[in-house]
Amino acid sequence: MSPQAGWILRDEVLPRLRNAVPRAVKQVGAEDADELVQDATCMAAQMMHRNELNGKQVTPGNVSYYTIQHLKSGRRANGSSSVDVMANGTQLNGSARLDSLSMVVSENESGEEIFELEDIISNDHEDPATIAARTMDWQTLMASLTRIELLVIEFLSAGKTLRDVARKVRVSDSTMQNHRRKIAAKILEYMGADVLQQIAQLPHWRINLEAERQSVLGRHERRAMA
């Protein structure tokens, strides 16, 4: 974009957008007027740049008008999909709807306890497919262990010690330590060195949910401070 086009965008197009966008364009989801003006400015700049490359002359009024029409139809600076469930166009045409995580979905008879949408979908458990896959891996691993190694896992899972296992099979404590090291080596070889990290990690869908929640919270805080 040439410097002259930049001045026109700043001095003639942007004031029109700031005045018209908050009143003419419907906000979708967590959008606010400032974000829509930013989108409109980016789209107007792209439009002016394309016209400049093609040698076309357009007035600031035309640029502002068609930019606002694009916004009203659901287009944004980052895309114009009407198929993606999260897209603005999809929500504007009624194919999808976004609800707040703080929306009340039910309450008890006395009204003293309410349940919000985030209470229903919030779940710290792993995805069932992940649990099933890990169970299958564990069963395969258990099938490869000796009788004493199986006893070690059984006793430790029940809160007992290696000494209890040693007494059960009548071997020394040092022998049981060797069996424990063999089990650890087999687990690392079969499951991988990062197995403990994978178990402790939050499900990806939960990480995405928390990130979106923090983003929305930050927007509300910025509005309150403005």
- The domain locations on the chain are 3-98, 104-124+203-224, 128-200
Q: Any idea of the CA torsion for 39, 42, 44, 48, to the nearest 10 degrees?
A: -170
Span between the terminal Cα atoms of the chain, in Å? 32
CATH assignment, 128-200: 1.10.10
What is the DSSP annotation of 31-88?
--HHHHHHHHHHHHHHHHHHHHHTT----HHHHHHHHHHHHHTT-BTTB--SSSTTSH
H or E stretch at 183: helix 173-191
Q: Cα separations (Å) of 202 from 124, 135, 185?
A: 8, 18, 26
Q: Cα separations (Å) of 70 from 15, 94, 133?
A: 18, 17, 47
By residue count, the chain amounts to 226
Q: Return the residue matching tokens 């979106």.
A: 212
Tell me how far apart the alpha carbons of residues 137 and 132 are, in angstroms, rounded to a whole number. Answer: 9
pLDDT at 202: 63
pLDDT at 109: 67
pLDDT at 102: 73
pLDDT at 95: 73
- Residuewise pLDDT in 10s, the chain (226 residues): 788 888 988 899 999 999 999 888 888 776 788 888 998 999 999 999 998 888 888 898 999 999 999 888 888 887 777 667 667 777 777 777 777 777 777 776 666 667 777 766 665 566 677 778 778 888 888 888 888 888 888 888 888 888 888 888 888 888 888 888 888 888 888 777 776 666 666 666 666 667 776 777 777 677 777 6
Q: Cα separations (Å) of 94 from 97, 100, 203, 217?
A: 7, 17, 30, 26
Q: Cα separations (Å) of 106 from 118, 121, 226?
A: 12, 13, 33
Question: pLDDT, tens digit, for every residue of 106-142?
Answer: 776 666 667 777 766 665 566 677 778 778 888 888 8
Q: How many CB atoms lie within 10 A of CB 99?
A: 9
